[in-house]
Amino acid sequence: MNEKYLKSLSEEEKYILKDKGTEKPFSGVYNDFYDAGVFICRACKSPLYESNTKFNSGCGWPSFDDQIDGAINCYEDLSGGRVRTEICCAKCDGHLGHVFYGENLTIKNTRHCVNSLSIQFKAYKNLELSTFAGGNFWYLDKLYRNLTGVYLLHVGYMGGKIEHATYEQVQSGKTNHSEVIQIYFEPSIISYKDILSVFFNHCAYLNKKVKQVNNWHKPIIYFSSKEQKEQAENLLSYECENTSSLATIQVKAETVFFRAEEKHQNYINKKNV
């Protein structure tokens, strides 16, 4: 590793980045972390991974299924009596972890297993966050995932009585959670009004196709700001003049979001591969 980048590192960070050590599983700050931004090298600050490539592999370390182009160097690693592929920062050659293929965890079938102590997170300040419930969250995911201007989305649960509920618990109807989709979008590319319009069209379609809606599938707009609340209420009132079925949509303040199990993320696209 390039020595000029070592001065600002702690001994624990040097152990990982220079000496190719490994932090304990499930101990890293970025293991269960899914905000929108970019992960950079802790030593040289070079960008390594976009947060929209991060997923929960269950291995205990931050996992990514892709890298920023040219950010990573790979080396054969024969330590520990097995053959692995080591990954290092392309700029400073600091050790990040290892990469694995063929595990069928994501569509890209790749897992960069990275130490939290090798990376730092820089949040994107230009993105806006919105959350919606309305029918099965698999279909909301499919609806929004490929829209231009949508940077990142997760499906999960909101509004319930217990933390970290499972899909099965939510489906029982006993937790009072809603199945939701949480979207990070770039408002200069796709406006909140456009995001809402997609949701209203979805709800109108559901109302025609579904006779009875479960409590965890009822349509809700969760606002994260006063501006979102006002815009949602105003646009909903306007839309209801032409489509009375949209009157069932509620507008509520956002509460704690719990990300759903990894198998439910991008579910329909994964099933169609």
Q: What is the CATH number of the domain that holds 193?
A: 3.30.1060.10
Cα distance between residue 14 and residue 266, in whole Å: 36
DSSP secondary structure string for all residues of 205-259: HHHHH-SS--GGGS-EEEESSHHHHHHHHHHHHHHHTT-GGGGG-EEEE---EEE
Beta-strand (E) ranges in 83-228?
Answer: 84-89, 95-101, 110-114, 119-123, 128-133, 150-158, 178-185, 220-223
Same domain for 103 and 139, yes or no, is no
Cα distance between residue 124 and residue 122, in whole Å: 7
Choose the final residue of a domain: 123, 140, 155: 123
Place of tokens 């006063």: 226
Is residue 59 annotated as part of the catalytic site, yes or no?
no
Same domain for 165 and 94, yes or no, is no
Residue range of the domain that includes 242: 128-272
Choose the final residue of a domain: 95, 123, 151: 123
Same domain for 80 and 176, yes or no, is no
What local confidence, expressed as pLDDT, does residue 235 receive? Answer: 95
Same domain for 256 and 150, yes or no, is yes
Same domain for 147 and 229, yes or no, is yes
Q: Tell me: pLDDT of 271 over 90.
A: no
User: Average pLDDT of the chain?
Assistant: 94
Same domain for 100 and 165, yes or no, is no
pLDDT digits (tens, 9 = 90+) for 153-175: 999 999 998 999 999 999 999 99
Cα-flanking dihedrals φ and ψ of residue 30, to 5°?
Answer: -100, 5
Same domain for 135 and 262, yes or no, is yes
Place of tokens 């969250």: 137
Q: What is the CATH number of the domain that holds 37?
A: 2.170.150.20
The region, left, alpha or beta by phi > 0 then psi within -120 to 50, assigned to residue 15 is: alpha
Q: Note whether 218 and 136 are within 8 A (CB).
A: no
What local confidence, expressed as pLDDT, does residue 166 receive? Answer: 95
Same domain for 106 and 158, yes or no, is no
Same domain for 49 and 163, yes or no, is no
Report the SS3 class of residue 58.
coil
Same domain for 196 and 215, yes or no, is yes
What local confidence, expressed as pLDDT, does residue 273 receive? Answer: 59
Cα distance between residue 232 and residue 41, in whole Å: 39
CA distances from 195 to 213, 234, 266 (A): 22, 14, 18
What local confidence, expressed as pLDDT, does residue 37 receive? Answer: 98
Residues 6+ apart with CB under 8 A from 198: 143, 144, 147
Same domain for 193 and 242, yes or no, is yes
Torsion sign, CA atoms 259, 46, 59, 64:
positive
Band (272; pLDDT cuts 50, 70, 90): confident
Catalytic residue of the set 41, 88, 92, 113? 113
Band (141; pLDDT cuts 50, 70, 90): very high
Mean pLDDT within 9-24: 96
Q: Tell me: pLDDT of 268 over 80.
A: yes
Choose the final residue of a domain: 100, 123, 146: 123
Cα-flanking dihedrals φ and ψ of residue 103, to 5°?
Answer: -90, -10
Domain count of the fold of the chain: 2
Place of tokens 């790979």: 74
Same domain for 118 and 165, yes or no, is no
